[in-house]
Structure 1
Amino acid sequence: MAEHSNFNDYLRGIVQNLPDSPGIYQYLNKEGVIIYVGKAKNLKRRVYSYFSKEHEPGKTRVLVSKIADIRYIVVKTEEDALLLENNLIKKYKPRYNVLLKDDKTYPSICVTNEYFPRVIRTRKIVRNGSTYFGPYSHIPTMNALLDLIKRLYPLRTCHLALTPENVAAGKFQVCLEYHIKNCKAPCIGLQSHEEYMANIAQVKEILKGNTREIAAALMDEMQALAAELRFEDAQRVKEKYELIEAYRSRSEVVSAVLHNIDVFSIAEDGDSAYINYLHITNGCVNQAFTFEYKRRMDETKEDLLAMGIVEMRERYKSRSREIIVPFELDLELAGVTFTIPQRGDKKTLLDLSLLNVKQYKVDRLKQAEKLNPEQKSVRLMREIQEQLHLPKLPMLIESFDNSNISGTDAVAACVVFRKAKPSKADYRKYNIKTVVGPDDYASMQEVVRRRYSRAVEEGTPLPDLIITDGGKGQMEVVRQVIEDELHLSIPIAGLAKDNRHRTSELLYGFPPVTIGVKQGTPLFHLLERIQDEVHRFAITFHRDKRSKRQVASALDTVKGIGEKRKTALLKAFKSVARIRKASVEELAAVVGEKAAQSLKQALTEDATGQSEATD
């Protein structure tokens, strides 16, 4: 196997002395800057693979050409390698590594490190002993938690320095929050520190997702108070119990027996990958976060998901012993089981994660399209390319349709879409010249033959995709002209309609197969628009031609009305019906007095004859 030309004696010496152990390797350029960090189960085998073959043109070849030095770190396990790789990428931000797009700071809930702690929302993490929960990418979830805590526990919201010395010295007075029963006034000693901290301990359990234990403790307290005949106190505890049970019923997504589980899913769009993370405690979603990776090399979705798992578990300090994933991963974490559920409650959790990641993907695409409208067109073209396995993006799409009534006034139309948008300047109309009678297949062949024969002769660009307004028959007659006669290679698709004349399916290939396109999606709407546009254009042309023929037959028999006067009349009055209704004076303004008299008399006689024939 040929070695890469950049594999000089210096680099070869490093690679030959690499250990067959797990570890991290770092590639540096000639300036000594780290340009790539990677992990490996076997350092020697992995690093040598970069130099042992000539890579295809692309990012990997560029990376290898810039490697001037190699450093490495040996670790004990693959898990250690994953963690170290993640930390080094975040520290050095190498040019050719996956880029974590985590620019939006989501809020967290903070339990402050004070003598009487406060529970607040914040976007800043300050390492001062305070406890943080989150961040929360779904703001309504965080607000619901804060509202529940406020209603369960009357905690202080002021910024006073409530130290034991200041409280004992009587430096404070009660405020409005005490009078409206949102606070029990620990500032003047009306609530003890022990009672306040007991409330804070329960708040932390709720924020951890342990609502079931809190509800059970409240139930025990309520029953004990009732047994002591302290019914008013029992009622207050009951109200708290009902609040937390109502919250649990809304937040619990699966069976409460599922506890301390991580769930991950991934969705891709070109060079972007979106990963969703859910942490489940007692059947409730306790933490949820979705983020984006930007590919820099040829990372697979398995590679990206493995990186995302390491990143999220480290960020959230998760110690879950089970991780639910959508597909098998080449990843081993000590004491952790990976599950790919097919049914049941765990499948419900995976589906919820997939729903979240797909929605996040849609939201990010919408944001990007607002900033750059061209992205929507590229995405639609990429979808068509992927659905039909086209060799390149369908930047130029042409579609054909016929229109006639029992073979009379037969016409065809071609509409052109450039970058998924109609290019009306390129639309073309065709009068059918060689076909007699209502033969749609022969008419389609004539038009396709004329259009692309001329394109070949003149050297004009050929389309990346031809779409016929019809099913398998129309596709086949177009193929015969394109491939058999003209020897061109242009992908051909067909759009068929249902019995209610609505776009129903996309056909592709020979023999044609139905390509599933979900109704209501942007791709479906684009195809529907192409079909509606070519049909509209063909019908309009047909009506115009038929109308002109009818108009011509009515005016051609009038003495003194030649082509110029006929054109002037139609330009002025738009139709024969309006010409009939016009007065002699109005007609004379266009064709002169004498011709107007002749025209009025001829049209009146013609109308009378038509009326008598009807009678």
Structure 2
Amino acid sequence: VDRREFFWEDQDEFEPAEFFSSLLKQFYLDQQHVPGLIHVPVEFEDRAVLEQLLSEKRGRKTAIHTPRRGPTKAMLALAETNARHSFEQRFRVRKPTLKAVQEALEDAMTLPELPRRIECFDISHTQGVETVASMVVWENGRMKKSDYRKFIIRSVEGVDDFASMREVVTRRYSRLQRENRPLPSLVLIDGGLGQLHAAAEALESLGIINQPVAAIAKREEWIYVLGQEREPVMLDRFSPVLHLIQTVRDEAHRFAITFHRARRGKSFIEKKPAKSRA
């Protein structure tokens, strides 16, 4: 039996179908095990495309089903109840102010000043095919979607997340240099030490030094800060700082998976043979 928890806050617009479509991509497209049957509480538009992608990854058919009655419907209701209880437990205390979170983040990451902007990067691919990257932005307490960016990886063949991270970080910050724009308070990387050092190498190649960079590893949820890698930051699971970092990381992952799915879906449709007309 496995149980994992994901949390989202400040969702100005919540559309259940879009949410579950993004969640399944985020959860299954980058992990080894894909089940043969997935139950979700709502139908969503790109279900057939996602079934095809997951079936290709699994090597056998995977179906996505929305039960209407019976034991499976009851199981989904239980999952919803558990999710509600987890949410209430996590947010049962008063939500800290933005400044309190910024100060706690500054202290935890040993930042030189109060963090006002975080740029977070994630890489997405399926066995090295259609590798893409995303960058999302947190600024002064909110996700700033107008500053999100998508990248198609150009210089890397096959599976090489480290080289892909070097490319996307180089492209992002060489552009900021050309446009004489300020760097973020923190560059956050979805990954472990390898991805962290790849990003650091990219910044160093551009002559950018003393830029705060950190990475969050998925399994342990440890935060590695560049320059103090031997002492990862291990925060309490209810810490507002960990919650902020996880929220930004999860959004980068969602954005990357959605972009990758769109490209994979387009590629699949283009390769599908047209039906002959009688």
Kindly indicate whether the alpha-carbon contact (under 8 Å) linking 1:406 and 1:437 is maintained by their aligned counterparts in 2: yes
What is the TM-score of this pair, normalised by structure 1?
Answer: 0.29
SS in 2 for 1:413: strand
1:480 is aligned, of 167, 192, 201, to: 201
Aligned counterpart in structure 1 of residue 232 of structure 2, from 508, 514, 522 = 514
Deviation, structure 1 residue 379: 1.2
* Pairing partner for 1:540 from 244, 258, 263: 258
**Distance in 1, Cα, partners of 2:160 & 2:207:** 22
1:337-389 CA-to-partner distances (Å, cap 9, x unmatched) read xxxxxxxxxxxxxxxxxxxxxxxxxx9x94xx7xxxxx722211110101122
The structural deviation recorded for 1:544 is: 0.5
Counterpart residue type for residue 497 of structure 1: K
Instruction: Tell me which residue corresponds to 1:422.
Output: 143
Give the whole-Å Cα distance in 2 for the aligned partners of 1:431 and 1:437.
14
Q: Which residue does the alignment assign to 2:178?
A: 457
CA positional deviation for 1:420: 3.1
Q: Distance between the aligned counterparts of 1:420 and 1:469, measured in 2? A: 19
**2:118 touches 2:185 (CA, 8 Å); kept in 1?**
yes
Contact 1:378 1:419 in 2 (8 A): no
Hey, what's the Cα distance between the residues in 1 that align with 2:173 and 2:207? 8
Instruction: Tell me the secondary structure at the aligned position of residue 437 of structure 1.
Output: coil
SS of equivalent to 1:517: coil
Give the deviation of 1:494 after TM superposition: 0.8
In structure 1, give the amino acid aligned to 2:259: F
Give matches, 1:105-504, under 5 Å.
366=94, 376-498=97-219, 504=221
CA distance in 2, matches of 1:468, 1:421: 18
Percent identity of the aligned residues? 35
Contact 2:196 2:226 (8 Å CA) reproduced: no
Query: Using a 3 Å threshold, how does the CA distance of structure 1 residues 463 and 401 change in structure 2: closer, same or farther?
Result: same
Unaligned runs of 5+ residues in structure 2 are 1-91
The answer as to whether partners of 1:399 and 1:414 remain within 8 angstroms in 2 is: yes
- Compare relative contact order (CA 8 Å, sep 6+) and give the higher one, 1 or 2: 2
Tell me if structure 2 keeps the 8 A contact 1:411–1:538: yes
2:130–2:264 CA contact under 8 A, matched in 1: yes
Query: Number of residues paired by the alignment?
Result: 186
Whole-Å separation in 2 of the counterparts to 1:398 and 1:487: 15
C-alpha displacement of 1:511: 4.6
Secondary structure of 1:515's counterpart equals coil
TM-fit CA distance, 1:489:
2.8
Q: 2:222 aligns with which of 492, 501, 505?
A: 505
Counterpart residue identity of residue 100, structure 2? R
Give 3-state SS (helix, strand or coil) of 2:221's partner: strand
Q: For residues 290-319 of structure 1, give each alpha carbon's deviation from its aligned partner in whole angstroms, at most 9, with x where no partner exists.
A: xxxxxxxxxxxxxxxxxxxxxxxxxxxxxx
Cα displacement (A) at 1:484:
3.8
Q: State whether structure 2 residue 243 is matched by structure 1 residue 525.
A: yes
- Which amino acid in the other structure matches residue 267 of structure 2? R
Rounded Cα–Cα distance in structure 2 between residues aligned with 1:487 and 1:508: 16
Cα pair distance change 1:451/1:517, threshold 3 Å:
same
Per-residue CA deviation, residues 82-126 of structure 1 (Å, 9 max, x unaligned), is: xxxxxxxxxxxxxxxxxxxxxxxxxxxxxxxxxxxxxxxxxxxxx
Q: Deviations over 1:467-522 (max 9, x none)?
A: 11111111111111112433343101110121xxxx62111132512112111122
1-side partners of 2:267 and 2:128: how far apart?
Answer: 15
What per-residue deviation string (whole Å, max 9, x for no partner) do you get for residues 320-341 of structure 1? xxxxxxxxxxxxxxxxxxxxxx
In the alignment, the residues of structure 2 paired with residue 462 and residue 511 of structure 1 have an alpha-carbon distance, to the nearest angstrom, of: 21
Alignment check: 8 A CA contact 1:415 1:533 kept: yes
TM-score calculated relative to the size of structure 2: 0.62
Matched residue, 1:216 = none
Deviations 1:131-183 (A, max 9, x none): xxxxxxxxxxxxxxxxxxxxxxxxxxxxxxxxxxxxxxxxxxxxxxxxxxxxx
- Taking the aligned partners of 2:106 and 2:208, their CA distance within structure 1 comes to 22
Q: Structure 1: which 4+ aligned runs deviate by more than 3 Å?
A: none
Aligned-partner Cα distance in 1 for 2:145–2:100: 22
Question: Distance between the aligned counterparts of 2:239 and 2:110, measured in 1?
Answer: 19
In structure 1, distance between residues paired with 2:206 and 2:180: 17
Aligned partner of residue 425 in structure 1, secondary structure: helix
- Indicate conservation of the 8 Å contact 1:435/1:442, yes or no: yes
Cα distance in 1 for partners of 2:270, 2:243 equals: 40
Gap regions ≥5 residues in structure 1:
1-362, 370-374, 559-600, 606-615
RMSD: 2.2
Q: CA deviation at 1:414?
A: 0.5
Alignment of 1:22-101 (within 5 A): none
* Separation of aligned partners in 2, 1:481 and 1:509: 13
8 Å CA contact 1:403–1:410 kept in 2: the answer is: yes
Separation in 2 of the partners of 1:491 and 1:420? Answer: 18
1:378, 1:483 → 2: CA distance? Answer: 31
CA distance in 2, matches of 1:487, 1:514: 23
Distance 1:505 1:420, change over 3 A: farther
In structure 2, what is the equivalent of residue 23 of structure 1?
none
